[in-house]
């Protein structure tokens, strides 16, 4: 496949740079994000059809304010400066940027002054945009006109149509800018003349090529966690290097019903990789004996996971590279956005790549958001039931058993969780609840079943709706369905005589019980 035509996004340290890249992908265009300080020759090598200069936290007036090589402005390709990128563009082109009288933060009503052609073609006369700035363009460079304004920002967007250089003071990449998507689409398709036919299949092709370049004829080891990300990474690597990929799946014994079987099935049949399936549940249970404190459980599980993985990797003998399914939110969470390797902690494998002396780390999903990873997974042929799995904590059902763990208690959460999942799946609520599961509360109480007295466990149902999992609302499951689910759980899961419904939002509660 030929190298796809791209837009280069020069990153000035904005929070939102990868979001810009994502929006560009949504417009069907391929982008390359480069640090602002990239050598001009390296920018040229990408043969960009357009350039986007991102925002950034710096003050445009500071003597050490970040600047890109000014030759980019004479490359003859269209340029869109966003926030700091607009201020820099104005300054370099002979205009002036400086402090504004009134800073603007948040949703601001914008009036578009030129809507017939160019960047703002087809926009409403007024719409809300998202502003976050202390500085702005005060005087336009020669050849530029103002094409939008707000109450406090007379030059909210600027254009030099003949040179195809544009700037916007607001952030078109965030959803709070109502027509931001249209602005980016105009820039990419009307101004840069992209067709917009870039898609996940193209992403897969390109990533496959990059993996081949990185790995050469070497071998790769990948730890499958049972989750979506590592599965998609494995499918991609399989496409790139086939049997030179070995996957190790450490089953800690705390997976949901049917999940381990599905992982093994998919990665032996659909993607016939070399798969080492290690059932290490005995070791995990043994090491967790008597442990009731949730953080301690997590630590032991993390440590055992690394131990088992390391043992298996050593048994396998030398593999050249190590792969993992790090995705963009993981990179952000770890505060590492500037290139060096991030090893996802927890159910992945800590400092292992370094310890085991791998030549390099392969992270083909590093720039993707979760929903893009899911799309890619479907493109690669992974089943929907795997790709659309609910989020699941690394230590699995172990933290959904409150108190000491036993195989029997894990059975209770697994069986009750399966009933809940099956019932939601065939109800109207399918796809409408962000996360739902059962918890073994640890409380036991008296009940009657038939004519017998019982003294058995209470299981709680947790079901939430949320966008980002940072806050969550309680899902509104109708009582009739809850009654039905409770009846099935008490009737079918041995050891349970009571079912509760958790009606606490997050905060103050968390989503998981631990
Ligand atoms: P909490 O309980 O903190 O959970 O409200 C927020 C979201 O994170 C998931 N979660 C985890 N995900 N590894 C993960 O990959 C973990 O150790 C972990 N612990 C919690 C949880 O299921 C919820 O979606």
170, 315: one domain: no
Q: Is residue 509 part of a domain?
A: no
Q: Is residue 511 part of a domain?
A: no
CATH number (domain holding residue 303): 3.40.50.620
The answer to whether the CB of 499 falls within 8 A of the CB of 486 is yes
What digits encode the pLDDT tens for the residues 360-384?
A: 999 999 889 888 999 999 999 999 9
**Backbone torsions φ then ψ of 247, nearest 5 degrees:** -110, 140
Q: Is residue 396 part of a domain?
A: no
Starting at the earlier edge strand, list the strands of the sheet with 126-139: 30-35, 6-11, 50-53, 79-82, 165-168, 157-160, 145-149, 96-112, 126-139
pLDDT at 343 (0 to 100): 36
Atom of ligand 1 nearest to the CA of 227: 15
311, 374: one domain: yes
Residue to mutate, 302, 324, 391, ligand 1, most ligand atoms under 8 Å from C-beta: 391
CATH number (domain holding residue 79): 3.40.50.880
347, 496: one domain: no
208, 354: one domain: yes
pLDDT at 341 (0 to 100): 36
Q: Which residues pair with 130 in a beta bridge?
A: 107
pLDDT at 462 (0 to 100): 98
Distance of CA 380 from the midpoint of ligand 1 (Å): 26
342, 482: one domain: no
The answer to whether the CB of 37 falls within 8 A of the CB of 54 is no
CATH number (domain holding residue 418): 3.30.300.10
Atom of ligand 1 nearest to the CA of 511: 5
187, 68: one domain: yes
pLDDT at 184 (0 to 100): 98
Q: Is residue 513 part of a domain?
A: no
Q: Which residues are catalytic?
A: 83, 171, 173
In 3-state terms, what secondary structure has residue 377?
helix
Distance of CA 395 from the midpoint of ligand 1 (Å): 10
256, 383: one domain: yes
What digits encode the pLDDT tens for the residues 208-223?
A: 999 999 999 999 999 9
- From CA 472, how far away is CA 320, in angstroms rounded? 42
Give me the helices (H) in 334-436, please: 352-355, 370-380, 384-387, 407-425
Domain boundary among 151, 174, 191: 191
173, 290: one domain: no
For ligand 1, atom 15: residue with the closest CA = 393
Predicted structure pTM score: 0.84
Q: Is residue 514 part of a domain?
A: no
In 3-state terms, what secondary structure has residue 132?
strand
The alpha carbon of residue 110 and the mean position of all alpha carbons in its chain are separated, in whole angstroms, by 31
CA triplet 309, 310, 314: central angle to 5 degrees?
Answer: 120
Q: Is the dihedral of CA 236, 435, 385, 376 positive or negative?
A: negative
Q: CB count, 10 Å around CB of 200?
A: 18
240, 262: one domain: yes
For ligand 1, atom 9: residue with the closest CA = 393
Domain boundary among 170, 191, 212: 191
Whole-Å CA distances, 302 to 109, 134, 226, 358, 407: 49, 45, 15, 21, 19
Count of domains forming the chain: 3
Residue to mutate, 460, 511, 514, ligand 1, most ligand atoms under 8 Å from C-beta: 511
Q: Is the dihedral of CA 424, 426, 427, 431 positive or negative?
A: positive
The H helix count followed by the E strand count for the chain is 15, 18
Domain boundary among 191, 218, 235: 191
pLDDT at 241 (0 to 100): 97
For ligand 1, atom 10: residue with the closest CA = 393
380, 233: one domain: yes
319, 244: one domain: yes
Distance of CA 170 from the midpoint of ligand 1 (Å): 33
Encoding tokens for residue 168? Answer: 């916007």
Atom of ligand 1 nearest to the CA of 509: 5
Encoding tokens for residue 369? Answer: 């958001």
Q: Is residue 512 part of a domain?
A: no
Its domain, for residue 40, covers 6-191
Q: Is residue 441 part of a domain?
A: yes
The answer to whether the CB of 152 falls within 8 A of the CB of 141 is no
For ligand 1, atom 19: residue with the closest CA = 393
List pocket residues of ligand 1, CB cut-off 6 Å: 346, 391, 393-395, 435, 469, 506, 510-512
Full pLDDT tens readout for the chain, 514 residues: 467 789 999 999 887 888 999 999 999 999 999 999 999 999 999 999 999 999 999 999 999 999 999 999 999 999 999 999 999 999 999 999 999 888 888 899 999 999 988 999 999 999 999 998 889 999 999 999 999 999 999 999 999 999 999 999 999 999 999 999 999 999 999 999 999 999 999 999 999 999 999 999 999 999 998 899 999 999 999 999 999 999 999 999 999 999 999 999 999 999 999 999 999 999 999 999 999 999 999 999 999 998 999 899 899 988 899 999 998 877 766 655 443 333 334 444 556 777 778 899 999 998 898 889 999 999 999 999 999 999 899 899 999 999 999 999 999 999 999 999 999 999 999 989 999 999 999 999 999 988 899 999 999 999 999 987 888 999 999 999 999 999 999 999 999 999 999 999 999 999 999 9
Residue-wise DSSP of 415-483: HHHHHHHHHHHTSTTTTT-SEEEEEEEEEEEEEEETTEEEEEEEEEEEEEE-SSSSSBEEP---HHHHH
- From CA 1, how far away is CA 6, in angstroms rounded? 14
383, 496: one domain: no
Q: Is residue 394 part of a domain?
A: no
């Amino acid at each position: 496949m030929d190298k796809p035509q791209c837009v280069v996004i020069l990153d000035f340290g904005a929070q939102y740079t990868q979001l810009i890249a994502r929006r560009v992908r949504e417009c069907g265009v391929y982008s390359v994000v480069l640090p602002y300080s990239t050598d001009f020759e390296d920018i040229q090598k990408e043969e960009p059809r357009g350039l986007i200069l991102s925002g950034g936290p710096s003050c445009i007036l500071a003597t050490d304010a970040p600047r890109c090589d000014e030759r980019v402005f004479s490359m003859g390709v269209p340029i869109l400066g966003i926030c700091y990128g607009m201020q820099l563009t104005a300054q370099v082109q002979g205009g002036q940027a400086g402090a504004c009288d009134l800073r603007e933060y948040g949703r601001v009503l914008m009036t578009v002054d030129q809507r017939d052609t160019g960047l703002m073609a087809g926009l409403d006369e007024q719409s809300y945009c998202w502003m976050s700035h202390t500085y702005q363009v005060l005087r336009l460079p020669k050849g530029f006109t103002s094409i939008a304004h707000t109450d406090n920002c007379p030059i909210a967007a600027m254009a030099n149509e003949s040179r195809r250089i544009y700037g916007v003071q607001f952030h078109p990449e965030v959803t709070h800018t109502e027509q931001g998507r249209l602005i980016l689409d105009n820039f990419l398709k009307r101004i840069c003349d992209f067709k917009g036919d870039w898609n996940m299949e193209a992403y897969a092709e390109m990533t496959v090529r990059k993996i081949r370049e990185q790995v050469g004829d070497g071998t790769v080891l990948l730890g499958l966690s049972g989750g979506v990300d590592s599965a998609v990474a494995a499918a991609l690597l399989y496409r790139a290097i086939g049997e030179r990929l070995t996957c190790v799946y450490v089953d800690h014994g705390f997976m949901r019903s049917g999940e381990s079987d599905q992982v093994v099935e998919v990665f032996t049949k659909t993607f016939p990789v070399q798969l080492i399936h290690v059932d290490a549940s005995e070791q995990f249970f043994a090491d967790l004996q008597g442990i009731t404190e949730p953080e301690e459980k997590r630590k032991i599980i993390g440590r055992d996971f690394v131990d088992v993985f390391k043992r298996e990797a050593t048994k396998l003998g030398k593999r050249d590279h190590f792969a993992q399914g790090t995705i963009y939110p993981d990179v952000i969470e770890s505060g590492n956005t500037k290139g060096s390797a991030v090893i996802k902690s927890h159910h992945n494998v800590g400092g292992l790549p370094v310890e085991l002396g791998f030549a390099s780390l392969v992270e083909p999903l590093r720039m993707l958001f979760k929903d893009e990873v899911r799309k890619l997974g479907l493109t690669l042929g992974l089943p929907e039931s795997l790709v659309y799995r609910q989020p699941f904590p690394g230590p699995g059902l172990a933290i959904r058993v409150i108190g000491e763990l036993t195989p029997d208690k894990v059975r209770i959460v697994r069986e009750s969780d399966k009933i809940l999942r099956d019932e939601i799946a065939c109800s109207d609520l399918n796809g409408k609840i962000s996360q739902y599961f059962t918890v073994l509360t640890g409380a036991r109480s008296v009940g009657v079943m038939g004519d017998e007295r019982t003294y058995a466990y209470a299981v709680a149902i947790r079901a939430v709706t949320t966008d980002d999992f940072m806050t969550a609302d309680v899902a509104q499951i109708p009582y009739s369905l809850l009654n039905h689910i409770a009846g099935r759980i008490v009737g079918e899961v041995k050891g349970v005589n009571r079912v509760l419904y958790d009606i606490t939002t997050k905060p103050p509660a968390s989503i998981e019980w631990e």
